[in-house]
A and B are shown apart, each in its own frame.
Chain A
Amino acid sequence: QEVTLKLHQFLPAQANVPKLVLDVWADNVEKDSGGRIKVERYPSMQLGGKPPELIDQAIDGVADVVWTVVGYTPGRFPSTEVFELPFMMTNARAVSHAYWEMFEKHMKDTEFKDVHILGTWVHGPGMIHTKDPVEKPEDMQGMKIRGGSRSVNSLLTKLGATPVGMPVPAVSEGLSKGVIDGTTIPWEVTTALKVPELVENHTEFEGRALYTLTFVLAMNKAKYDSLPDDLKAAVDKNSGLEFSVFAGGTQADADGPARKVAEDLGNNIITIDSAGVDEWRAIAQPIYDEWVADMNGKGIDGQALIDEAQMLIEKYTPQYSN
């Protein structure tokens, strides 16, 4: 082959996203390049550094392609947070579609100008997994919960819970030793972390999800520019809107089997119906205002982003709902 792309990310090779999304992407790029591109896969941060460094590694060319959680570097890509606000996301395909559109329009040449973005997506509905059942907001009082993002932590505080900052791989140990009483993650991650064996209660929300996280697949700019046109085309063919929707959708589809595992174990799955969700939304509402104020401080029209995101999500949700 002519070109080797080093693909670096933080999960083990057999986890869902590396196996079902990144490997598929890499195989397709290799195939469409006629074998002239080889994608070397480095899971589990094998090339060194810690997960928050991934985006810099793509920018500086330490790795050629990285997959990363945007929230690992808080404050750096503020516009993406619009999709992470509580009760914003509906389903992962629709929101990933909206994310790509808004990325192209607002973020490509600003926040992400130093890197070539191949895909933007979100995970399936974020939810709560706890030792004691959570049916009402009051049930969260005094619980120590691992939160995944800025707005989730803020929501947890408003609910009277104590947000505990810890990386995803630390969740199993934290739960088994009682350092935390629960965690916020989507279903898909629960199997790898053995969460259904460590807690017995899972709280889902009908309609819009409690939260989600944003991801990007990013490529070093110089590396991309250095590719001959036909190889660029092979990369382009597997990137962009279609890939983003595929990635978000595939990750969300992995929720189902994971939910089944918890069901089979006889765990207690609580679904908050739309009437119940209103109560939670009322508590979450101030987070929207705080976020808009925060964005205004950064010279970004936060309200406009919220309005546009909501409009796009409304528009695409029916299209992707089954």
Chain B
Amino acid sequence: MHKLMMGLAKVMAILGGIVLSMLILLTCVSILGRLLNGLFHSEFMTGIAPEFSHWMINAGVGPVNGDFELVEAGVAFAIFCFLPFCQITAGHASVDILTNSLPQGVNRFLRMITETVFAAVLILIAWKLGDGMISKRSYGETTLLLEFPIWWAYALSFLASAAAAVVGCYMAGVRIIEFFTGRVLVWEGMESGH
């Protein structure tokens, strides 16, 4: 079970990483296009190579249309994809100064409650995001420049948030078992995972 869930979390994280890398490339291409477009419009280039400059501009050398929107939609998806891995490796920042001095059993109890509430919150987030997706779809809202339906972006993020909810429930289960058996199944803190 842990292997399966860890596999899911890793696949999602890598998927998010690939999307993030593509956004980085897209942004770089767009900057290059913008700088070149400016160059071919410059007096210098139109002076020494007017035909070539004109040709390059007509060939569409310029910033990527709607790069801004693609980054926004893509990065939301990537971050939702990153959530499951953070969840399963207990990567969320917390303060353990007080709890360090409490007995193990109390800590396990607190961890069980926290993780269960976290799972509930992740389910709530996915559920409401689904509602948001349905409403965006019914209104036919699009982005400004590329005019793609905004609900597509919601749908991708919704799928990733559902994965986060699944992993969140699994972690809640892990902490419940840990509390009742007293065995630690998933370590917490900075040294876990890496």
Interface residues of A (CB under 8 A from B): 56, 71, 73-76, 141-142, 144, 149-150, 153, 162-166, 298
Contacts and interface: CB of A to CB of B under 8 A. Distances in A.
Contacts of B55: none
Given A162-B62, A165-B69, A141 B41 contact: yes
Contacts of A165: 66, 68-69, 144-145
B38 A142 contact: yes
Contacts of B63: 162, 164
Contacts of B41: 141-142
A298 B140 CA distance: 10
A141 B46 CA distance: 13
26 contacts: A71-B144, A73-B139, A74-B143, A74-B144, A75-B139, A75-B140, A75-B147, A75-B149, A76-B140, A76-B141, A141-B41, A142-B40, A142-B41, A144-B34, A144-B38, A150-B144, A153-B144, A153-B145, A162-B34, A163-B145, A164-B63, A165-B66, A165-B68, A165-B144, A166-B68, A298-B140
B99 interface: no
Contact of B142 (A56, A75, A141, A153): A75
A164 B62 CA distance: 12
Given A74-B147, A75-B141, A150-B147, 20 more contacts: A56-B135, A73-B141, A74-B141, A75-B142, A76-B141, A142-B37, A142-B40, A142-B57, A144-B38, A149-B144, A150-B144, A162-B37, A162-B62, A162-B63, A164-B63, A165-B66, A165-B68, A165-B144, A165-B145, A298-B140
A74 B34 contact: no
A74 B37 contact: no
Contacts of A76: 139-141
B127 to A, nearest CB: 15
Contacts of A141: 41
Among A56, A73, A75, A150, the most chain B Cβ lie within 10 Å of the Cβ of A75
Interface string B111-124: 00000000000000
Interface string B71-84: 00000000000000
SS class, residues of chain A in contact with chain B: loop
B71 to A, nearest CB: 11
A50 to B, nearest CB: 10
Among B38, B62, B144, the most chain A Cβ lie within 10 Å of the Cβ of B144
A101 to B, nearest CB: 24
Nearest to A111: B139
A97 B111 CA distance: 61
A250 B4 CA distance: 63
Nearest to B142: A75
A298 to B, nearest CB: 8
A74 B38 contact: no
A71 B63 CA distance: 23
Contacts of A153: 144-145
A153 B68 CA distance: 14
* A-B pairs with lowest CB-CB distance, top 9: A142-B41, A75-B142, A76-B141, A76-B139, A73-B141, A165-B68, A74-B142, A75-B140, A75-B141
A298 B147 CA distance: 14
Contacts of A56: 135
A298 B139 CA distance: 12
Contacts of A71: 144
A173 to B, nearest CB: 15
A280 B118 CA distance: 58
Interface string B30-44: 000010011011000
A114 B145 CA distance: 26
A75 B147 CA distance: 8
A221 to B, nearest CB: 15
Nearest to A178: B38
B72 to A, nearest CB: 10
A153 B63 CA distance: 14
Contacts of B68: 165-166
Nearest to B42: A142
A150 B143 CA distance: 10
A310 B143 CA distance: 28
A73 B34 CA distance: 27
A71 B40 CA distance: 33
